[in-house]
Amino acid sequence: MKRWDLRPFEIRNLFNPAFCGLIIFRALQGYEEVNSDGMPFSLSLLVLPLCLHKGSRETIADNSRSYLLRTIEKNQQISVGFAERTNSMLPYVLEGFGLLMERGCITVAADGRIQTVKKKVRVAVSGTDETVSCQRAARLVGKNFASIADRATIYRTFGIRP
């Protein structure tokens, strides 16, 4: 990972640790709406590749009333290149987690599940249309992950070996 000041302007803006952390936090909140135990770390790694990729995000938002597994089945283009995208975004996910931990916004349970800390992040979803779209998609992804409740199924659906 390059030092912050050596990264291209576009990368600094799109993969800003505060923004990436916010997207992860919104997914964790969505997960906790269904399962208060918190999201497993392994599932949290899939949030940014789904929510920052415009095609995936829009497909998920357009099918918000449908089950995620059915949405992926009907829209196979989401899975194309997903494993590579997930792998390449891992450093940004970890930076986002680092900022969330440093600011006391999340806690990690003994079993590795990640939970949000209440009143640490603004409840209102605000920003540009694009950032609001990312945050809303993250909440939907979190809720869907909690509803599925099986990490292996989620990973297999996206073509990733658990």
- 53-98 per-position pLDDT tens digit: 999 999 999 988 888 889 998 999 998 999 999 999 999 999 999 9
Check pLDDT > 70 for residue 162.
no
- 14-39 per-position pLDDT tens digit: 789 999 999 999 999 999 999 999 99
- 10 Cβ neighbours under 8 A, 6+ residues apart: none
| b/e burial code for range 55-68 (CB count within 10 A of at least 16 → b) | ebbebbeebeeeeb
Cα separation, 95 vs 101, in Å, equals: 10
Q: What pLDDT does residue 36 have?
A: 94
Residue 55 per-residue DSSP state: H
pTM, whole model, 2 decimals? 0.92
> Would you list the domain boundaries of the chain?
13-157
